[in-house]
A and B are shown apart, each in its own frame.
Chain A
């Protein structure tokens, strides 16, 4: 059996699209038929759980019982992949906690596959976060995500400065999330379903929905680009050895 994979999705700033990225990951693994569970650390109420209620549990990652719930069950869980959507501002402290409980050591020994999706904001503060996070990452797969979904412009970044930070983490991989049309984005929020469910024009319970064909088309196109980024980054190969791979499917079937 493949070793369990843990993906931490986080940033030290709020509003940079952590949960959006976590949602695309859950859709991606689902499309690859990889059993996945998720933890939403926006306790007591979680945004991720609203979109993926069946696989998501809301936890307080700073509490020991909830840490046990996540990490003591990695081997026994049916899920191959555990995605943790880390609440804004808690990325560094979560990594510190993982270090304290010996999780990072287990990852270093190869007992667990560990990846970090670090969602960058537009400000120079985000670059400082890279330096802060780099202390913990070690041998983990480290993905630096530039999220343009809300038409963010990374205006404060000087490319040379960015590269100097980027290169501090050995093997860091850059991922770009393209912009999604505002109305399409808003309608998926209103529908409160996974992106693939919206594209398939279904409700959460699987009933036919009445979503605009144009908006579904925009979401399908956008999700296709996001997944192409994950394919380019060889995400699945990074987090676990190659699985029996069939044809990679289209978002809308």
Chain B
């Protein structure tokens, strides 16, 4: 899909901050960075989906989206908790979720995209959950026991997400003129963020090399085939080739993430001592 050159950070910028990690901390640093990516993907999409609560087209869909959000925030709780432990600076999962700013988030750009209408949300969710299910399927074999355990648990839940998103993409794509138009628009919005899911930058490569992560390139073709199969059933053509946008993994986010964080982080930042 990605034949056009991507939009990325300015050349020379690493987005990695000003200090270097000593070599003996390299594995710990890679593990921290990798867990942050996993956790931030789940956290941001979980928060995004929760915006639908009380606004979905029907009560069943409302419950479904809230359940997606719950599963994703559950994944984030595990991954960010482990990230805090890997970092060894005393930061808990909550601290990482609520006391980092936009530039420190490592989620992919797809998950922070606005919900738009229901079709746009389902387009995003098809593209993400298909990828996440395949990623977790591979992470079950991670050499990192904790990552493998969460992946084995979550992959069964994500399969439900992917099934429901696929059904809605098919129903809306092969539905009325209006639902079809909206689904085409939704896919068109989200399509340019797919290549970032398959980006193998330095962190991803090192995580894959040491066995805790996965070379996502291994399932790119399979992913494309699965997405195309759902679109074919929805009587939709894959969107036209678009210029991919990268940068989320290095903290270079769209304006949408800041607005999401403002809502999500307001309470713990305003009342830092608040407890349940």
* A and B pair up: no
